[in-house]
Structure formats: structure tokens, C-alpha cells
């Protein structure tokens, strides 16, 4: 048996075979006898009231069971708090079917339930709505005069508001040797995971509900359903073992969950509701954001003035916020700063966290401004960042818990060949293609939330691990299994991790790159407690060689407990279970971070991205020919799954910089390309040579495992690096994402 630690090994995903062979069942794949199908009717106006709903023609079809709307909905919770969830921003949570008011285009207003999906969809087309329309506003840029400060709520704990001004920015900027100022525009983006938003609610004989849902938080949805429908928590079970991509779209309960449960409870039947692709564009999005930067530096390149202002869209009913402008002062220790973040309430659905929310938006403006400053100073862009390297977070006057960003810069530049770059724009060519090199810095918060885990060692020699956490495709199942196996000195095959089920011990929503730091720590602590219990059981065995042993005297490996001072003395863990009358030895741990300790430090993951682009001089077509992302993220549990996360972020970076945008018609107040034919994302032909490196970083503050998350950091640095490379290639600075080829002609 191998004794090599599993942590640090590139282990393939344990569920990978099930996924590639189609055996993994997703929320919409579950079938039960008598299953009904629901199809949601969405509003075709942007703002107003429903005057009448005509359902007669739809209900006359054989096989149509019912049409639910605000006119015949059951009694539901009326307190706003009952509709809130773990990711709800300040404001009044949207309540489906609350009344006849229309708050945004595409609002769900009715549910047709029928014996087949096709029949439900057809019947939905026969439902006619009479509206009274009202004036609406959906254009961010035209409403900047209505911008205001966001409301403060619990979300502010994880999404801090901008820091207060430092020094005298205006004076420092006006006296700066070099100055840059620019406007940056980001359009709307929508989550487009491969798996459609789906819920299958199984109505049990005793009135309990088993719900298969596409979610990033089983407990979050369980609490939401119980609160809204007045059910006992123990009567609601939410299961989500496989998630076909989410990117933040499952952080809040999606509205098909509400409709599926409502119909199941009213009809006392099992009901499945799956949104079609175009309907997924009516639930959450990355908000359009307009940013303004003014950066100043002295003649030696030292940044002395930072101003970053952002104006973002939110709905009329919630104040969705992002951390957009805080990052610059965390990275660059200027003595004079002015940060501003404001919201504009529009007639749209609330924006929703999307991979690296705020970070991928703000870092573009910051890092493109730094690149422009480098050219004005005639200093290499990498050298400018080294000149302004911060060993501590001056924005809050705290040290970093760990920071190896400088190593990311140096190792990345060497591997990429940054020294081969001719600094002059339009100076590098390959045939009729202009070649450009660009680089940028990435930063993302490293957080940890409370989580609970249960572990049990069985007479079969297996370690059972349980947590309600989901695995949204990031490798959570595999990584948690590696952590648990190492703690008990077991083979990976001896660990059975049960997850994605609200009946399991509590786990927070899976997002923000904090899952392994939170749940992994809980599992580790539970395993440590289990080792103590196993030792106590072994001490009580007749003639035990461990009678006087302490935890420091023993080591667990190969399914046994050994004496450190004499490895020939050992006892199999299964023997300990036998002595316990065959009963499993188990323990539960609730791991809560030491907030007072964490508050003394700034905690962040860092990266450096290096990009080469080819730009067709005649057509303006941009190709990202190669890119490298170097990451400092503490201890890497599984280099293979971590690398996959960074690669995914790099592919999305190409999408964000060059392809991806949801186009709005402000006269209609609606999105015009809610499909994958016209919502452009990269295909295989767009992706070329991508590489990932991790640098060693010792993290001792955030958790005892020494880990930080890697889900978001792969996305934040590369989009501005692409924009900077395009400037180097063409001499044109384009500050609007995505960058269209006509802007380069």
C-alpha cells in the first residue's frame, strides 16, 4: 500500500467517468411515475400591470392539468425575510406571482402544468395576457444622473464598500509627472452553463418533498422552500450531486424551483420544470458597469494618485453590489486615493454574482490604466508593477496573510519570454499579422465561511464523509476525498464522500472561491477528532499497546494506527471497530473561522497573466495565440483540478474580452440575443496555447490546510492583459469589452 500523501497529487475527478459516459444524473434527468411537466409563461412587457390572464384555451387541451398565476396562487409567506437567501442583497426580494405588477421583461407570470413537456410548452403559447404598460428605463448610461450610494446590509460583510479617501487626490493628480484618465464600459453578460436551469420535485406519500435542483447551495434552497411555503425544514430535502456548470447562476434559488414546488404541493403530484435557454436570460446577469479612472505617478514611476469610480446597474427592488473599485489600492500603495461606487436602479431583474464578480470588471480598468501609465512613463509595464509592489495592504493598513505575487511576475515573465518584447506599439509582425504582448495583475479575495462535516469509520474499513456542499464541476468531491484520506492515512478508494444533499451537515453556498477553505477545513477538523476517538477506543482494548499513548505518539497510515517509537506495533482500524461491537466510530465538527484573527490580515489570491495576440492588419480580427497565467494560491491540494479551474477562467477571459455580451434594446427594455447562436462564446478554433503555473506560497492564517481558492483568480487578470496586448500590437487603446474588430480597422 502506498503511503504517499494524496494532497498535492494530480488526481483525476472521481466522478469523471460517470459524466463522460452520461451516467451522471442532473436535476432534469430524474423521472418518477405520474410525473407532470411545467412550462413557465414570461412577461412580454418590461413594466406595468397584468389586467387579465386568459387561460381558457390552454386549459381546454386534453392533458393540461392546471395553469397557475397570481390569480389562483395558494397562500404563501408574506414577510420579505421569508424569501431571502444566503446570497440575497439588501432590498425587497422578488416574489414570484406576488401580484399582477410587472417589474422587468421576462418576469415569470404563470405556470402551465401538463402530462408532457411538449404539451405544457404548447399550452403556454395559448395563454394570453392583457397588460397595462408603463414607462421604463433600462439604459445605464442615460441614467447616470440617478446614481446613488448602495444600501448597507449583511452582504457588505463579504462585499465591502469602497474605502474612504486618503490624502488629497485632486492636488496629487494635478501635480503628477505622468497622468492617465479613461472611461471603461462593460456590457451585460449572462451565465450560460451547459445544463439548463431545472427542478424536479418529487411529492412523497407523506407530503414530504424530495427536490432535485440545479443549485450551488442545497441548504440555501431547502431553507427558501420551507420558509416560502410554510413547511418544516425536515420535510424538504434538496439534492444536487451533479451540476453542469453554474458560474454563480445557482447561488440564489432560481425561479423554476418556486414554480415546481408550488405545483407539486397544490396538485400533490411530482412536477418537473426546466427553463429553456432563452428563459435563462431572465434570471440574473453580470451588470453593465461604467468606470472612470485617473492615475498619476512621479517621474520614477511611483504611483501617487489613484481615482477609480464605478457606476453599475441594479434592479428597482434590490441593491446588488460588487467590489469593483477597492482593488487598486490593495495592489498599489498610493498616498492619495479617491474611490467611488454607485448604483443606478433600472427596470431589470437583479444582477447576480458571476465568476469573479466585480473583480473581473474592476481589474480591467485598473490594469489597463497601469499599462497606459507605463507607456506614458516609458517604463516596461512589468517593471512599473514591480516599482509599485505592495508588501502590505495599505488600503486598510494590514499585512497580507501571504503574498507571492512578485514570484508570479518573475517566473511568468521568464517562461513567457517577456524580455523578447519590443516595447514600441506596432513594431512586431508575423506575416500580415500584428503581434502584441500584454500583461496584467490579478487579485481575488481569499475567504472562509463556517461549515460542518461528519466523518465515520466503518467495519468495512471505509471512511464515510458527509457534507451538504455541492460540486459545481470544480472537483470538490475529489479534493475533499484527498483531504480526508490523508487525515486517516487511507487510500482514496477507502473514502466515500456523500455530498450535494441538504440532509447532510451544513455547508455554505458554493461560490467566492471559499469552498475548500471552508468545507475542507471542517472535514479536516472532523477527521482529527475522529483520530482521537479511535485512539481512545484502541486504548480500552484488552492488552492494548496504545494504553498510555497520546496523539503525538501515534501515526495513521495504510488503514492502521502505528506507534511512532516502534512501527512494528500497530492495530488495524477495523480491529478497533470490531472491539466497538462493529459500530462505526464517528464525529461531527462545526468549523468556524477565527474572525478576530482573520481581521488582522488582508487575505487574497494573486496572479500574473501574460498574453500574445495576433491582429489581422486588414480585417481587425484578433487571435489570442498563447497565454500564461501564474497563480499564488497557498497550498494546491490537487494541481490537476486547480489547473482546470484556471484554464476555464482563461477561456472565459477570451470570451469576456473579445466575444461575450448580451445586447439590449433600450426602446423595448429587453435582451435581443438570448440564445447561444447570437450570444457569442469561444469555440475550439478560438483557443490556442494556454498554460498555467503555480508558485509556492505558505499560508498559515486563513486555515490550517494552508489553502486559498482558485475558482475566480483565473478570470481577473487575463482580460486586461488581452486589451493591453491589442494596444501593443495596434497602438489602439480600446476600453470597451468586448473588443469588436471594427474598432481596430
Return d(Cα 403, Cα 401) in angstroms, integer: 7
Return d(Cα 573, Cα 537) in angstroms, integer: 10
Q: What is the pLDDT of residues 349-381, one digit of tens each?
A: 999 999 999 999 999 999 999 999 999 999 999
Where does 529-617 show beta strands of DSSP type E? 554-557, 560-563, 570-572, 585-591, 604-616
3-state secondary structure of 225: helix
The pLDDT of 405-410, averaged and rounded, is: 98
CB 512 within 8 A of CB 448: no
The pLDDT of 289-308, averaged and rounded, is: 98
pLDDT attached to residue 156: 65
Q: What is the pLDDT of residues 610-661, one digit of tens each?
A: 999 999 999 999 999 999 999 999 999 999 999 999 999 999 999 999 999 9
Percent with pLDDT over 90 in the chain: 97
Provide the grid cell at 527. 477527521
Return d(Cα 559, Cα 487) in angstroms, integer: 11
530: Cβ–Cβ under 8 A, 6 or more apart, which residues? 455, 456, 457, 488, 585, 586, 587
pLDDT attached to residue 698: 97
* Beta-bridge mates of residue 392: 399
Provide the grid cell at 605. 489570491
**Average predicted confidence (pLDDT) for the chain:** 96
Name the pLDDT band for 155 (thresholds 50, 70, 90). low
Return d(Cα 422, Cα 725) in angstroms, integer: 12
Single out the catalytic residue among 525, 696, 712, 742: 712
Return d(Cα 291, Cα 244) in angstroms, integer: 33
Return d(Cα 443, Cα 703) in angstroms, integer: 19
Q: What is the pLDDT of residues 709-744, one digit of tens each?
A: 999 999 999 999 999 999 999 999 999 999 999 999
Q: Please identify which residue in the block is written with the cell numbers 480598468.
A: 365
Q: Please identify which residue in the block is written with the cell numbers 387579465.
A: 52
Three-state SS for 414-464 is HHHCHHHCCCCCCCEEECCEEEEEEEEEEEEECCCCCEEEEEEECCCCCEE
Residue 496 has pLDDT above 70, yes or no: yes
454: Cβ–Cβ under 8 A, 6 or more apart, which residues? 464, 465, 466, 467, 504, 505, 526, 586, 587, 588
Half-sphere exposure of 13 (CA within 13 A, CB side): 19
Helix axes 218-229, 255-267, angle to 10 degrees: 50
Return d(Cα 350, Cα 252) in angstroms, integer: 11
Name the pLDDT band for 158 (thresholds 50, 70, 90). confident
pLDDT attached to residue 159: 86
Provide the grid cell at 220. 440555501
Is 712 noted as a catalytic residue in this protein?
yes
Is the bond preceding residue 596 a cis peptide, omega within 30 degrees? no
pLDDT attached to residue 302: 98
CB 127 within 8 A of CB 59: no
CB 636 within 8 A of CB 414: no
* Beta-bridge mates of residue 393: 398
Dihedrals φ, ψ of 102, to 5°? -105, 120
> DSSP assignment of 341-379, as one string?
EEEEE-SSPPP---SSTTHHHHHHHHHHHHHHHHHHHT-
CB 20 within 8 A of CB 104: no
485: Cβ–Cβ under 8 A, 6 or more apart, which residues? 6, 463, 491, 492, 494, 495
Return d(Cα 497, Cα 486) in angstroms, integer: 14
Q: Which contiguous run of DSSP H or E holds residue 631?
A: strand 622-632
Strands 209-213 and 108-114: unpaired
134: Cβ–Cβ under 8 A, 6 or more apart, which residues? 47, 48, 49
Cα dihedral 75→81→84→86 (10° resolution): -140
pLDDT attached to residue 161: 86
Residue 3 has pLDDT above 80, yes or no: no
Which DSSP symbol is given to 193?
Answer: -
Q: What is the pLDDT of residues 253-267, one digit of tens each?
A: 999 999 999 999 999
pLDDT attached to residue 636: 98
> DSSP assignment of 39-95, as one string?
EEEE-SSSSEEEEEEE-HHHHTSTTEEEEEETTS------SHHHH--TTPPSB----
Return d(Cα 373, Cα 298) in angstroms, integer: 11
pLDDT attached to residue 113: 98
CB 726 within 8 A of CB 438: yes
Which DSSP symbol is given to 744?
Answer: G
CB 293 within 8 A of CB 308: yes
CB 123 within 8 A of CB 39: yes
The pLDDT of 181-208, averaged and rounded, is: 96
pLDDT attached to residue 160: 87
118: Cβ–Cβ under 8 A, 6 or more apart, which residues? none
Q: What is the pLDDT of residues 76-127, one digit of tens each?
A: 999 999 999 999 999 999 999 999 999 999 999 999 999 999 999 999 999 9
CB 484 within 8 A of CB 527: yes
Provide the grid cell at 482. 484527498
Residue 401 has pLDDT above 80, yes or no: yes
pLDDT attached to residue 153: 74
Model-level pTM?
0.96
Closest CA to 588 of 673, 512, 528: 528
Name the pLDDT band for 2 (thresholds 50, 70, 90). very low
Rounded to 5°, angle at Cα 582 from 578 and 587? 105
Report the number of secondary-structure helices (H) and strands (E) in the chain.
19, 31
Q: What is the pLDDT of residues 32-48, one digit of tens each?
A: 999 999 999 999 999 99
Amino acid at each position: 500500500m502506498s503511503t504517499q500523501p494524496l494532497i498535492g497529487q494530480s488526481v483525476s475527478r472521481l466522478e469523471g467517468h460517470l459524466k463522460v459516459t452520461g451516467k451522471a444524473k442532473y436535476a432534469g434527468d430524474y423521472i418518477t411515475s405520474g410525473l407532470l411537466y411545467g412550462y413557465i409563461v414570461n412577461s412580454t412587457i418590461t413594466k406595468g400591470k397584468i389586467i387579465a390572464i386568459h387561460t381558457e384555451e390552454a386549459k381546454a387541451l386534453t392533458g393540461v392539468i392546471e395553469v397557475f398565476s397570481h390569480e389562483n396562487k395558494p397562500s404563501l409567506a408574506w414577510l420579505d425575510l421569508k424569501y431571502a437567501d444566503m446570497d440575497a442583497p439588501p432590498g425587497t426580494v422578488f416574489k414570484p406571482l406576488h401580484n399582477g405588477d410587472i417589474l422587468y421583461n421576462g418576469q415569470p407570470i404563470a405556470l402551465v402544468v401538463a402530462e408532457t413537456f411538449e404539451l405544457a410548452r404548447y399550452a403556454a403559447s395559448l395563454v394570453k395576457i392583457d397588460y397595462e404598460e408603463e414607462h421604463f428605463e433600462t439604459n445605464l448610461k442615460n441614467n447616470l444622473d440617478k446614481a446613488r450610494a448602495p444600501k448597507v446590509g449583511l452582504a457588505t460583510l463579504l462585499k465591502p464598500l469602497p474605502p474612504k479617501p486618503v490624502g488629497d487626490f485632486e492636488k496629487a493628480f494635478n501635480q503628477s509627472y505622468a497622468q492617465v484618465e479613461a472611461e471603461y464600459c462593460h456590457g451585460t453578460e449572462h451565465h450560460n452553463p451547459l445544463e439548463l436551469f431545472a427542478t424536479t420535485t418529487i411529492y412523497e406519500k407523506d407530503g414530504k418533498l424530495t427536490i432535485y435542483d440545479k443549485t450551488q447551495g442545497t441548504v440555501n434552497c431547502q431553507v427558501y422552500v420551507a420558509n416560502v411555503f410554510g413547511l418544516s425544514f425536515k420535510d424538504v430535502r434538496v439534492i444536487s450531486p451533479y451540476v453542469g456548470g453554474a458560474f454563480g447562476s445557482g447561488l440564489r434559488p432560481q425561479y423554476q424551483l418556486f414554480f415546481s414546488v408550488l405545483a407539486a404541493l397544490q396538485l400533490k403530484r411530482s412536477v418537473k420544470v426546466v427553463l429553456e435557454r432563452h428563459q435563462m436570460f431572465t434570471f440574473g446577469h453580470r451588470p453593465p458597469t461604467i468606470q472612470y479612472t485617473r492615475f498619476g505617478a512621479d517621474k520614477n514611476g511611483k504611483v501617487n494618485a489613484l481615482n477609480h469610480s464605478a457606476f453599475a446597474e441594479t434592479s428597482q427592488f434590490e441593491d446588488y453590489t460588487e467590489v469593483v473599485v477597492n482593488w487598486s489600492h490593495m495592489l498599489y500603495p498610493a498616498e492619495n486615493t479617491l474611490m467611488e461606487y454607485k448604483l443606478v436602479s433600472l427596470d431589470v431583474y437583479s444582477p447576480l454574482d458571476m465568476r469573479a464578480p466585480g473583480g473581473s470588471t474592476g481589474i480591467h480598468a485598473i490594469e489597463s490604466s497601469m499599462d497606459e501609465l507605463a507607456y506614458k512613463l516609458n517604463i516596461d509595464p512589468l517593471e512599473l508593477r514591480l516599482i509599485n509592489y505592495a508588501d502590505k495592504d495599505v488600503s486598510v493598513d494590514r499585512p497580507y496573510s501571504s503574498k507571492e505575487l512578485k514570484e508570479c511576475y518573475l517566473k511568468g515573465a521568464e517562461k513567457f519570454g517577456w524580455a523578447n518584447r519590443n516595447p514600441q506599439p506596432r513594431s512586431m509582425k508575423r506575416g500580415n499579422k500584428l503581434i502584441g504582448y500584454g500583461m496584467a495583475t490579478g487579485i481575488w479575495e481569499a475567504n472562509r465561511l463556517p461549515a460542518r462535516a461528519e466523518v465515520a469509520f466503518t467495519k468495512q474499513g471505509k471512511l464515510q464523509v458527509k457534507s451538504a456542499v455541492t460540486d459545481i464541476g470544480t472537483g470538490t468531491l475529489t479534493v475533499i476525498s484527498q483531504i480526508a484520506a490523508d487525515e486517516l492515512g487511507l487510500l482514496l478508494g477507502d473514502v466515500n464522500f456523500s455530498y450535494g444533499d441538504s440532509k447532510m451537515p451544513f455547508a455554505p453556498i458554493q461560490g467566492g472561491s471559499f469552498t475548500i477553505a471552508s468545507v475542507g477545513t471542517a472535514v479536516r477538523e472532523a477527521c482529527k477528532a475522529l483520530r482521537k476517538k479511535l485512539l481512545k477506543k484502541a486504548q480500552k482494548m484488552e492488552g492494548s499497546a496504545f494504553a498510555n499513548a497520546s496523539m503525538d505518539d501515534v501515526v495513521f497510515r495504510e488503514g492502521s494506527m502505528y506507534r511512532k517509537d516502534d512501527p512494528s506495533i500497530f492495530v488495524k482500524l477495523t480491529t478497533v471497530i470490531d472491539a466497538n461491537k462493529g459500530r462505526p466510530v464517528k464525529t461531527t465538527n462545526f468549523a468556524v473561522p477565527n474572525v478576530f484573527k482573520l481581521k488582522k490580515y488582508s487575505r487574497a489570491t494573486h496572479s500574473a497573466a501574460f498574453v500574445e495576440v495576433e491582429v489581422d492588419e486588414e480585417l481587425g480580427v484578433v487571435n489570442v495565440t498563447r497565454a500564461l497565467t501564474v497563480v499564488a494560491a497557498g497550498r494546491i491540494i490537487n494541481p490537476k483540478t486547480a489547473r482546470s479551474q484556471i484554464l476555464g477562467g482563461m477561456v472565459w477571459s477570451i470570451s469576456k474580452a473579445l466575444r461575450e455580451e448580451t445586447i439590449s434594446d433600450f426602446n423595448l427594455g429587453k435582451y435581443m440575443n438570448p440564445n447561444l447562436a447570437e450570444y457569442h462564446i469561444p469555440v475550439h478554433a478560438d483557443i490556442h496555447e494556454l498554460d498555467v503555473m503555480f508558485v509556492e506560497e505558505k499560508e498559515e492564517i486563513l486555515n490550517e490546510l494552508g489553502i486559498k481558492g482558485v475558482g475566480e483568480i483565473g478570470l481577473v487578470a487575463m482580460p486586461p492583459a488581452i486589451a493591453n496586448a491589442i494596444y501593443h500590437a495596434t497602438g489602439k487603446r480600446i476600453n470597451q469589452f468586448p473588443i469588436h474588430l471594427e474598432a481596430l480597422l
